[in-house]
Structure 1
Amino acid sequence: MERSTEFLSNIDMIVGPRGHRRWPDAVKAQIVAETLVEGASVCAVAQRYDMRANHLSEWRRMAREGKLVLPAVPEGPSFAALVVRDDVETAPEPAPPPLDLICGSVHVRLVATTSAARIAEIVRALNAPS
């Protein structure tokens, strides 16, 4: 696989004494933008630049948080802010259907929130000998 590092020769990338590279923000943004192209994967883009995928994922997080400005992507995905609101009213839950007890000719309709103990009492009373 061909590596896309030829453009890196003209930038001010700093290699530290232990071999750590420091990437300018413009280069970081360009590499992150490549991960946003449909069908691209973070791992594949990281391999092209001879870097670790988790490092690239960290740059993507920075871009989502607005700490890294990406170049304009003509037709592709972009990050959108997520707004969570708790002042929005939700529709009330519909009332559960009533509970019908039928014993012979006796029909008893109970609300669905009737306790099991109360239902048992009513059933015993309906089945009690007259």
Structure 2
Amino acid sequence: MDRSSEGQRRYQSWPDDLKREIVSATLEPGASVAAVARRYGVNANQVFSWRKRLLAAASEAAPPHRDEPAEPGLIPVVLTAEVPDASEPLDERIEIELGGGYRVRVGAGFHGPALRRVLDVLERR
């Protein structure tokens, strides 16, 4: 925020292209909004505001994929009551089926932040 010659506050105006560039940088895997904001000399709260507005506008403008519902909603979950055989080793994998034919399987020792990055990338496709 700058001050004019009369001492009044004057807010900086950011070009839309630069806002999109900054928001895009925050969407990179492993990116921190605070770090990106510091790099561009912008308040992190301002970046969050731009990000929310631009992502909402993008989701409204983008046509829904043919396999996805037009409106966000609940997705069905199927639970099976399989009793593992004591003679077989216990399978501690989780399988996640996503739209677009993607399937992600993770074992007991998965790294949560890495899985979140993978799911974020697949969600954007």
Q: TM-score, normalised by structure 1?
A: 0.40
Who wins on radius of gyration, i.e. which is larger? 1
Choose between structure 1 and 2: higher helix proportion. Answer: 2
- If asked which structure has higher relative contact order (CA below 8 Å, sep 6+), I would say 1
TM-score, normalised on structure 2? Answer: 0.41
